[in-house]
Amino acid sequence: MDVKIEQSWKIRLGEEFNKKYFKKLSEFIREEYRTKTIYPPAKLIFNAFNMCPFERVKAVIIGQDPYHGQGQAHGLCFSVMEGVSHPPSLTNIFVEIESDLGYKPYSSGDLERWAAQGVLLLNATLTVRAHLAGSHQNQGWEIFTDSVIDIINREKRNIVFFLWGAYAQKKGEAIDRSRHLVLESVHPSPFSAPRGFFGNRHFSRCNKYLQEHGIEPVDWR
């Protein structure tokens, strides 16, 4: 199956694209885009990979679903398109960055600036129906993104994984803690952020670890 995705990922994920589950997933997704309003736009489904080639990955933030409101999702977890109001979780991420690092992030909620530095902004499920959270779960995306995490875990070293909330933590259970840094806390949503996301200092801890291993830190602005 010819999937349009950045070449370094295509090389590593080629076997996944030919598996039975992915062919079934592709049929489902094509029909969903044909008959319903689906986010992100089809050309941006693999935006996280296209913006962050495999060789450049230094950190991975794991989300769950794309945003399901109009004009929000563009293939990067927690990120919204330029000019779109910040969802509450993203607002809380920016609050923690300012508290942790002492600088205020840029006003834009478009996190392509992080992806360009090697931060893979990976949702577990890469598509969703408009206004219906979780609507594309258990169709095969989770198998695909588990494979992505496994490839990074096995083929790279000294990657920083951000696992916010029980869902992301379960998805990252198999990550080798002797090879990588795994940062865990509650989710940045308004319901849980005051119970351990605020004050987790994940951004400074990430940069300290990267620098200790001779890797350029991330400018989280």
Q: Which residues are catalytic?
A: 65
**Contact predicate 10/53, CB 8 Å:** no
Q: How many CA atoms lie within 13 A of 108 on its CB side?
A: 10
User: Kind of pairing, strands 128-129 and 160-164?
Assistant: unpaired
CA nearest to 40, candidates 71, 61, 64: 71
Find out whether the peptide bond into 87 is cis, omega within 30 degrees of 0: no
What is the DSSP secondary structure assignment for residue 44, as one 8-state letter? G
Alpha helices in 69-156 (DSSP H): 88-101, 112-115, 141-155
Distance of alpha carbon 203 from alpha carbon 61, whole angstroms? 11
On whether the CB atoms of residues 7 and 37 are closer than 8 A, the answer is no
